[in-house]
Structure 1
Amino acid sequence: MDALDILTNLEYIVPFFQPIFSADEHRIIGYEILGRIQTESGYESLGPFFLDETIPEEYRLEVDNVVLKKALERAAELEDDVLLFINRDAELLMMDDGEQLLDILRDFERIGITLDRLVLEITERNFTGDYEHLCHLFNYYRTYGIKVAIDKLGEDSSQLDQIGQISPNILKINLMALRSMHSTTAFQDILFSISILARKIGAMLLFENIETGYQLQFAWKHGGRYYQGYYLHRPDIDFINRDILKSKLKSEFHQFIMYEKKKLEALFSITDRFQKRIQELLMKNKNVEHYEELLFNLAKEMNHIAFRMYICDEDGFQLSPNILKKDDMWMIQKEYTQKNWSWRPYFLENIFKMKSEKKGILSDLYCDIESGETIRTFSYPLNTKEYLFIDITYEFLYEHEELLY
């Protein structure tokens, strides 16, 4: 629709509400407010209008406020624990230091819409103003109980430092990126960074644009507390029964739980088999004194599993050379002796765990620095001072599907 048609027909603007479901309650905990305009052919989204930067900011803000006021009037009929997610562009918000928005919200507080039910959903990717000033505004809003969510995450992790400054209550992750990215691994790497940040700042993850059961499982597995998308429910002009998907979500989450438990059981089983196999081989080679001979003997027995082995001390210094399988032949890399690996994530933590529990550890999946392949490492305590590391080939992981997740 033409922008002028929208501005001259404000009476036809209506709010739509897209429900947001929770993992812990299996019910609707809030609604995102979306703008629509009624036309002869039905309701049309106002999204393109709000995203069109050629339209003067004051006009976009005017329409935004019309949508908000009409939505808050409707929200008076909701239960008083239902959250309302309000979209705002950071540039538009800072036009008047956010005062106009706060005035509207405080007006509706008088009719029962308490400010602690409101979540300000901010898109700040293209914000060009004073970032510190924006952070101060969010902190000011928080004094009223208003929560802050950062929108449009999932495409890259370039603004993570800025998100850390804002310390939002909710990080909203766009699962459309999961469909559009050529590599799911790339998306998972970005998501891992976001999830670590969320944990550090105490934010919750909300996954949007969930369109399939697989995406819901992906969101659940990666720490999502809140979910929205067409797979769950489309935006609607009316509010719906909060428990509309309670039995469905309970059933689906139960399947997710069973799948994860089955996978964990398989991982524990394989770890236990590695543990017993290494114990047997070490007993068989208990009289071997030299690191290189021991590693070569182990390599013969684990030729179909491993591609690299080495031994480190408890501080991460490599006591042995690497032995590396290349073109189906095992070779020595003496230059690795005395390299230190304590800088690697979880290295010292895992050393302490092995020393304490006196058993081996199977690592998570990670990308090997040198080969670029996805691998796992099995670490094993030879004694309290020496630790064996066995890098497992991707081929072996592929043969045991449960090791690739």
Structure 2
Amino acid sequence: MTLEATLVNHYVPLFQPIFSVEEQTVVAYESLGRRKDEAGNLVSIPEFSDPHVSALRMSVIDRQLLGLALNKIQSTNDLLFVNMSPDQVILEYEESRSNSLPISDLVNSYGIPLNRIVIEITEKSGSYGTDVLAAGVELLREQGFGIALDDVGSESSNLERLGAIKPDIIKIDLNLLKKSIEKREFQSILEYLKQISLSIGSQLLFEGIETEEELYRAISSGASLLQGYFLGRPSELNHDKQIICDTVVPHLQLYHEQKRKEVAMEIEFEKNIKLQLNLLSLKTLVLENRVIIDPNSFFKLDQKIQRVYITDWLGTQVSPYYVRTNEFGFVENLSMLQKNWSYMPFFYKHVKQVFRDAENWQVSDPYWDKELKKNVIVFSKVNELGYSFFIDVVLD
């Protein structure tokens, strides 16, 4: 028996299920390599954690594991996620023949369509630049493979790779998910990644989900794919999909019920604020280089109103900035006169809404205000002279 055959007999691929929120079932598995020690126990493969192992050696091991994994999934319709380091991607590129890659030949030899294989580019730093990596990834994509980028959020360099590779699937770093539960700043990072995924047409896959709270955080952050011990541990390909569905689906239903309640409460909150604002006259008086309004009428209307100011149609602030100081008081800040707000996301949303419906108060999406340390929404409306009123209101 050759050394290579002996190694194959010692390698064992384990499979961790990946659940689709959209399809409400397990749709894929990630192949995770292990080996058997002399006692027959499954242990980690030492080369995987050794930074000095060459890309060629890693490719030999990975191809042996992939062959074993392909043999297992041959009779299924599931997707298979397989890890590949940046240097291994380049090695595939260098070893290509007539536009056919070694990994393509291996998968084809099992009669499995290439689009059932998702190549997961690991977070390891490579020996080549991002442009070279992107070229190698593009060749994999042209062959038909799906592309995932692993552990996004764990290193700043991943954001550069994200833009260059434009993966089909973005895998969110486990630690980022956990930190988002403890600190609001990390929630903002997840929201940012969600927006990136929408802009480049990628799905978000949250891995490492171990608790119900982490499951809810993943879904609220835009997850379409879920992975982790909460759903199923890595094992040989013997998962009962129905058991996983029976575990996850009820939690998804509870999440959506809670979100619907929250939306209903937000709508009721907005309606009450609008009713109060509609009681006011939006009169303005131009005095020298500024526009005068009656701020007191706003602040005595509702304790949740925190700031009031107006701009012209181009977004330049033309009134003082009025800020609540206590239950009944406020201060006038002149330092922001002539500040332009058109760069803020809410401003052109306001402009767009005014074109749609100039008669009613418009409402921004909630955002976290660092100064107030609360969620804030902006109510806005244009008066008959074309001045835009902006009212910052804290959410309950």
* TM-score normalized with structure 1 length: 0.85
Q: What letter corresponds to residue 85 of structure 1 in structure 2?
A: F
Assess, with a 3 A threshold, how the Cα gap between structure 1 residues 156 and 354 changes in structure 2: closer, same or farther.
Answer: farther
1:389 deviation in Å? Answer: 1.6
* Residue 389 of structure 2 is aligned to residue 391 of structure 1: no
AA of the residue aligned to 1:231: F
**1:211-290 alignment runs, 5 A limit:** 211-280=210-279, 282=280, 285=281
* CA separation of 1:127 and 1:28: change in aligned 2, threshold 3 A: same
2:113 is matched with which residue? 114
Query: Aligned with 1:17: secondary structure?
Result: strand
Structure 2 counterpart of 1:334, which letter? Answer: L
1:90 alignment counterpart: 86
Task: Describe the SS at the equivalent of 2:19.
Answer: strand
How far off is 1:7 after superposition?
A: 11
Tell me if the contact between 1:154 and 1:174 (Cα under 8 Å) persists in the aligned partners: yes
Count of aligned pairs between the two proteins:
383
Are 2:335 and 1:335 aligned? yes
- What residue number does 1:365 align with? 366
- Measure how far apart 1:193 and its partner are: 2.2
Bigger Cα displacement from structure 2, 20-29 vs 266-275: 20-29
The structure-2 alpha-carbon separation of the partners of 1:7 and 1:299, relative to structure 1 and needing over 3 Å to count, comes to farther
Q: Residue 138 of structure 1 corresponds to which residue in structure 2?
A: 137
Shift of 1:236: 0.9
Alpha-carbon offset, residue 274 of structure 1: 0.3
SS in 1 for 2:300: helix
Superposed CA deviations along residues 84-133 of structure 1, whole A, max 9, x for unmatched, are: 11101112332353637932432331332111111000014512303222
Decide which of 60, 63, 80 is 1:62's aligned counterpart: 60
Q: CA–CA distance in 2 between the matches of 1:223 and 1:113? A: 30
| Amino acid in the other structure paired with 1:127 | G
Secondary structure of 1:177's counterpart equals helix
Q: Secondary structure of 1:119's match? A: strand
Which residue is equivalent to 1:324?
323
The residue aligned with 2:298 is: 298
C-alpha separation in 1, matches of 2:27 and 2:194: 21
What do residues 50-71 of structure 1 show as CA deviations (whole Å, max 9, x unaligned)? 1211334433332222211111
The CA deviation at 1:269 is 0.3
1:139-188 Cα shifts (integer Å, max 9, x gaps): 11122211110001133555323311111111111233232468532222
**Code of the aligned partner of 1:50:** F
In structure 1, distance between residues paired with 2:4 and 2:180: 35
**Counterparts in 2 of 1:7 and 1:190: CA distance versus 1, 3 Å:** farther
Give how far 1:257 is off.
1.1
Q: Which amino acid aligns with 2:334?
A: K
Q: How many angstroms apart in 1 are the aligned matches of 2:182 and 2:156?
A: 15
Contact 2:120/2:148 (<8 A) preserved? yes
**Residues 382, 107 of structure 1: alpha-carbon distance in 2 compared, 3 angstrom cutoff:** closer
* Counterparts of 1:179 and 1:292, CA distance in 2: 48
Q: What is the identity, as a one-letter code, of the residue corresponding to 2:391?
A: I
Measured in 1, the distance between the counterparts of 2:5 and 2:388 equals 71
Q: 1:9 to 1:128 in 2, by over 3 A?
A: closer
Q: Give 1:73-88 correspondences, 5 Å limit.
A: 73-79=71-77, 82-88=78-84
The Cα offsets for residues 204-237 of structure 1, whole Å up to 9 and x where unpaired, read as: 1111001111111111122111111000001111
Deviates more, 1:89-98 or 1:270-279: 89-98
Structure 2 vs 1, CA of residues 76 and 375 (structure 1 numbering), >3 Å: closer, same or farther? closer
Quote the residue 2:348 is aligned against.
348
- Could you say if the C-alpha distance between residues 352 and 76 of structure 1 is closer, same or farther in structure 2, counting changes exceeding 3 Å? closer
Identity of aligned residues (%): 28
Partner of 1:186: 185
Measure the CA separation in 2 of the matches of 1:180 and 1:376: 23
CA RMSD of aligned residues (A): 2.8
Equivalent residue, structure 2, for 1:99 = 95
Q: Give yes or no for contact 2:85–2:124 (8 Å, CA) kept in 1.
A: no
Q: Which moved more, 1:248-257 or 1:101-110?
A: 101-110
Q: CA separation in 2, counterparts of 1:157 and 1:261?
A: 35
2:199 aligns to what? 200
Q: What amino acid is the match of 1:83?
A: L
Residues 276 and 250 of structure 1: CA distance in aligned 2, closer, same or farther (over 3 Å): same
Aligned to 1:152: 151
Conservation of the 8 A alpha-carbon contact between 2:177 and 2:218: no
How far the C-alpha of 1:327 sits from its partner, in A, is 6.3
Deviates more, 1:259-268 or 1:53-62: 53-62
What is the alpha-carbon distance in structure 2 between the residues aligned to residue 317 and residue 158 of structure 1? 37
Q: Is 1:161–2:157 an aligned residue pair?
A: no
- Normalising by structure 2, we get a TM-score of 0.87
